[in-house]
Amino acid sequence: MAIINSIKRSLIIVFTAATSLSAQEIAPEDSTSGEVESEVENPPTPSIEPILQTNPDDGSVRAGFGALGPTFFLGRRIRLSTSVTGGYNDNVNQLPTGSPSWYANPNAVFTYEFGNARLAWNLVAGAGITYYFAHPQGRDYDPDIHLSLSLAYKATERLTLDLTTFAAYQSQPDLTTGFTANRQLGNFFRSTDGISAHYKWTPRLSTVTSCTLNVIEYESSAASSLNRMESQFGEECRYLLFPTTTITGEYRFGVTAYQENTSRDSTMNSLSAGFDQTFSPRLEGSLRAGGQFRSSEKGSGGQTSPYLETLLHYYFVRSAAPTYVIWSNRYGLEESDLPSGTSRETFRTNLQAVYGITPRISATLGLTYSHGDSLQSSVSNSLAGQSSTETIFDISPGVRYLITRHLSINAGYRHTESNRGSGRAIITNLQSINSYTRNVYFAGLTYTF
């Protein structure tokens, strides 16, 4: 099966890179830096900030937030957590008519972090399953398996190599990114692999050369028209203007190749400029702005769009309870998730916040909003040049209580809306199929070893 072969290839990439570089590990000066403190604190210390942002109702990854980069001089940290979550989902299959069911979700996540003077990495492996007791429309369960590795290696004082790889096999769509569809299309495999070289020419001037490969493949033949591979090459120039400010300029070239519908193959040229700013020891941010030009291989012409991307990351530990905010925004071109679509001009914003109310109690909030216009291809003259609009709104408030140093309980609610809006008759039929609302109520226990 093609999906199994893709999973094997991603696993080979991860473990080959990890094995080859682990032989070059240097023992950290303080071997106890990564050990857990003794259990004398009252109240207990909560778990650290997660490397990967996940949905609290089923543990699936929210890729739109990205992962925290590995840290040098970290020592070693190994963590295993298991959780059991249960709840009620009033629209499992994300249909206009609804498909309700009670569900249970057991989940396990293994995390390994390492950092010394030359090598640092974050490894996260997770597996879970969501079982539906009512079997809505024959649906028994949803798988959720993911593996992520972020690695940084200082080859010389001037050259740093970075490797990132992510692979997941899941069913529920990831609404935080434009890479997956915004609706339920069955089980699918996705992966993102990237390598970059950061070279410091002078104390102020440096360049970053990068290569990224994205792959998505659906099991269902009805969604196979969305199976594709996206490769991107980039060159970024960075200049340290002030001790807390770095200005950047970047050019990227991308190629998208579909497995079946080759008429949707395209190339993308992007040019942007911006800055990275450290506002305080607790607040960091970045901005990129520029333009994109997309050209199709067969007959749908070109499309130009402005491009904007921002990121804010605030992290503050108050009274032993974590408080952090990750807020990302993006406006630009994406691939359409409609069978007859070509590109989608989309604005999306993702917010993840955790606030420590007390050392034991913390509140969480996940928020995703996107608005996209998909341009129809010229496969049918009656559709050529028409657009289909979709708006996604997803919000998930929750609360967590730390019972002991290792055991916590959480509860929350998740509301999702997808609105295809209004359009011409043939487009309206597609919109009536894909517009839906969903409400999920959940609670669970997590034990961290």
Average pLDDT score over the chain = 83
Which run of H or of E encompasses 328?
strand 321-335
Q: Work out the average pLDDT over 92-109.
A: 93
Higher pLDDT, 123 or 182: 123
Cα distance between residue 449 and residue 439, in whole Å: 32
Cα distance between residue 165 and residue 227, in whole Å: 19
Whether the predicted pLDDT of 2 surpasses 90: no
Whether the predicted pLDDT of 425 surpasses 50: no
Using a 10 angstrom Cβ sphere, with 0-12 exposed, 13-18 middle and 19 or more buried, the burial of residue 176 is buried
> Among 169, 181, 191, 152, which residue's Cα sits nearest to residue 18?
152
Higher pLDDT, 136 or 319: 136
Q: How far does Cα 307 stand from its chain's mean position? A: 19
pLDDT at 184: 86
Query: DSSP string spanning 148-197?
Result: EEEEEEESSSSEEEEEEEEEEEESS--TTSSSS-SS----EEEEEEEEEE
In which domain, by residue range, is 412 found? 2-448
CATH number at residue 107: 2.40.160.40
Whether the predicted pLDDT of 299 surpasses 70: no
pLDDT at 179: 87
Using a 10 angstrom Cβ sphere, with 0-12 exposed, 13-18 middle and 19 or more buried, the burial of residue 221 is exposed
> Among 394, 395, 382, 391, which residue's Cα sits nearest to residue 424?
382
Higher pLDDT, 262 or 242: 242
Task: Pull the structure tokens for residue 37.
Answer: 């403190």
Task: With 0.75 as the threshold, say if the pTM is over it.
Answer: yes
Split into its structural domains, the chain has a count of: 1
Q: 187-200, pLDDT tens digit by residue?
A: 999 999 999 999 99
pLDDT at 14: 42
Cα distance between residue 173 and residue 179, in whole Å: 10
Radius of gyration of the chain (CA): 22
pLDDT at 183: 85
Q: Work out the average pLDDT over 107-111.
A: 95
Q: Work out the average pLDDT over 305-331.
A: 84
Cα distance between residue 432 and residue 94, in whole Å: 12
